Amino acid sequence: MKILVIGDSCKDIFIYGEISRMCPEAPVPIFNPKYQKENGGMALNVVANLYSCGAKQVDILTNKQNITKTRYVEEKSNHMIMRVDINDSVEEKLTAEMILGINFSKYDAVIVSDYCKGFLDIEIIKYISYAHKLTFLDTKKELSEWAYGFTYVKVNEPEWNKSLNSGEKIENWKDKLIVTKGSKGCEYNGNIYSVEKVNFLDVSGAGDTFLAGLVFSYLQTKDIFSSIKYANEVATMVVQEKGVTTPYGLNNETFSL
């Protein structure tokens, strides 16, 4: 099983600490940092989750510029009090020359993880969708004809609603669109795939886990229905843990930038 992941990456930083009093100068809490965790985020998190599910070889094509997302979290409640993003977009872009240099035929599947940070433009993504027979897309961009070439497209419910409000029609996506709905599970081809009710601690990175689980299972089974169920299962596992993590305990810090 050889998989290629193309997309935006970042470093996720979680600073856990204690809040015991309010600031006397302003109505804000005083945060006392205790410890910090870091891991690769976005496309790098997809890679980590693929390996956690059992993939043996995953290549990644991503930005070199360092995007960081730093979350300050009260440890006892796991309540995030602030997120600080640095270099939220990159000037570096994936070029046509770089894409043309890829031997897509050596991969079993290609994943595009498009967080809309500037690394991927629509024309490049469209080219990738037709460059391989099995392609998966997770994007923050509004969907339209540029994404019709993908085998499967995964977006969350607010993202899909934006596309609907822009005039996109569900009929164009009937056999390929998967819409994740948080605690309600996901929807595919008019059917709802529910998830087990659990105690949600952190949903950060859960979409990456869903995507990785979907692709890993599909490569084994070639059955989209069982793959969606598996993707739901692994995503449900990670939302019960703190921070951005993987379903089977693989240390995501291995893939940090």
Check: CB of residue 85 under 8 Å from CB of residue 68: yes
pTM: 0.92
Residue 255's pLDDT is what? 36
| pLDDT tens readout for residues 126-174 | 999 999 999 999 999 999 999 999 999 999 999 999 999 999 999 999 8
Low-confidence ranges of the chain (pLDDT < 50): 252-257
Degrees, nearest 5: CA angle 107-108-109: 90
DSSP 143: P
Residue 201's pLDDT is what? 81
Which residues does 208 contact at the CB level (< 8 Å), separation at least 6?
41, 42, 45, 46, 49, 113, 138, 244
